[in-house]
Amino acid sequence: MSSKGSSRRRFLKEGVALTGLAAAGARPGMGQVETSQVVKNTRPYGERSRFVTSARIPDDPTSRSPAILTPIQDSAGIITPSGLHFIAEHYDGVDIDPQQHRLLIHGMVDRPLIFTMDDLKRLPAVSRVHFLECPGNTSLRRSKNTESIQQTHGRTSCSEWTGVLLSVLLRRAGVQKGASWIVAESADRARYIKSIPLDKAMDDILLAYYQNGEPVRPEQGFPLRLFVPGWEAISSVKWLRRIEVVDQPHMARWETITHGSIRGDGKARWFEFEMGPKSVITRPSLGQRLPSRGYYEITGLAWSGGGGIRRVEVSTDGGRTWKDAQIHEPVYRMAHTRFSLDWTWDGTEQVIQSRCTDERGDVQPTLEQLAEVWGVDMEYWKTTTNNVLKFNPIFRWRVTRDGSVQNALFS
């Protein structure tokens, strides 16, 4: 962003007043208490400061297995701490002893194989930073009736995943001619099953056993999960125990009834796979309140199943004009990407929004463009009871005169 330098300087000048004010009543080190060696010794696995309270929340406390949402509004950089990764599962999870765990690869292969976790870890490992996003993230229903960005956008997280490429195992097993799909199955009670085209399996699918430098968390599928970069998170089978190579999809309930997206004409879309380009301003965002007029750094995240984020534009005037936001390094393919823009709020009502473009040139659509794709009119979004999944329109927040931030998507 070319204007970055000068607006920084302007901010620093304006900022003098702010800093001076705070310093009057403060002294360095106020509020500090010494911790003892005893505290340090009893924490072989560290905890965050007791003053840090950012937390996941359930989307529906009355549900037996509610989704647990990432506090995306508190995020900085691009990595979601493992303890704040969103959780979505049908029924409950499962507690697996990694010594006992086995992975079976069979079906249309020359040599069916069984791997222990130690076998898998002996193979060459790769580490990749990728987002995971439930297709229900920002679904139409959730985009309307929520009070915080955590509720609208909390079904996506981004981690460094380490494991072995599925293609390595499939080559060892020897995929037979005519095979075109794999079916992955979980070890939990749900017997979660997902069909995935073989091409993707031979490309970049990971069998992940590490997440952010330590074993995958139990909620994320310990000791082994499938990780399918850029695709609907429903493909990333947790607690993975079996992969069958086949010549047609399984049509399991989790890929048909549960995760189909109902169209305007009542039919459902199945097997859509890739997540479209999406971005959102996380600060200021729905549920927050700006304490006073003046300088703010608008910041947010952008991601796309289509590859790397190349451009993010931000509008602070209801979409009349757009400015290129600064894209922060590092930028990984199919990963959350941090962007920011300097902004001075003058105390009047403003609508702020972001849109992103990925490496293929795909641009995050407007509501109008999405309506066209869906073959519906703009009224449909307001009136339908269908919960449209993979809903990725440009999101708008309204900063009102009292500083509170509201959802302006449909107004």
Enumerate residues 155-184 that contact Mo ion by CB under 5 A.
none
Q: Which of residues 34-93 bind Mo ion (CB under 5 A)?
A: 88
- Length of the chain in residues, anyone? 411
Alpha-carbon gap, residue 405 to 187, rounded angstroms? 43
Any contact of residue 237 with Mo ion (CB under 5 A)?
A: no
How many residues sit in the footprint of Mo ion (CB under 5 A)?
Answer: 2
186 binding ligand MTE? (CB under 6 A): yes
Among 101, 200, 238, 241, binds ligand MTE (CB under 6 A): 238
Binding mask 218-237 for ligand MTE (x = CB under 6 A): -xx------------xx-xx
On whether the CB atoms of residues 155 and 86 are closer than 8 A, the answer is yes
- Applying CB under 6 A, the span of 123-131, 183-191, 265-273, 296-304 interacting with ligand MTE comes to 183-191
| Binding segment (CB under 5 A) for Mo ion, from list 47-55, 131-139, 295-303, 367-375 | 131-139
Three-class secondary structure of residue 62 per DSSP: coil
Q: Is 137 left (phi over 0), alpha (psi -120 to 50) or beta?
A: beta
Selected range binding ligand MTE among 34-42, 167-175, 182-190, 334-342, rule: CB under 6 A: 182-190
CB atoms within 10 A of CB 84: 18
Minimum CB distance to ligand MTE, residue 191 (Å): 8
Query: For ligand MTE, which stretch binds (CB under 6 A), given 22-30, 86-94, 163-171, 348-356?
Result: 86-94
Q: Are 346 and 260 in contact (CB under 8 A)?
A: no
- Extract the tokens encoding 114: 């069984």
Q: Is 75 or 236 the residue whose CB approaches ligand MTE more closely?
A: 236
Question: What would the two tokens of residue 395 be?
Answer: 């999101």
Quick check: 76 and 54 in contact, CB under 8 A?
no
Query: How far is it, in rounded angstroms, from Cα 71 to Cα 141?
Result: 19
Compute the chain's Rg from CA coordinates. 23
Binding residues for ligand MTE, rule: CB under 6 A, are 85-90, 132, 134, 186, 188, 190, 192, 219-220, 233-234, 236-239
Binding residues for Mo ion, rule: CB under 5 A, are 88, 134
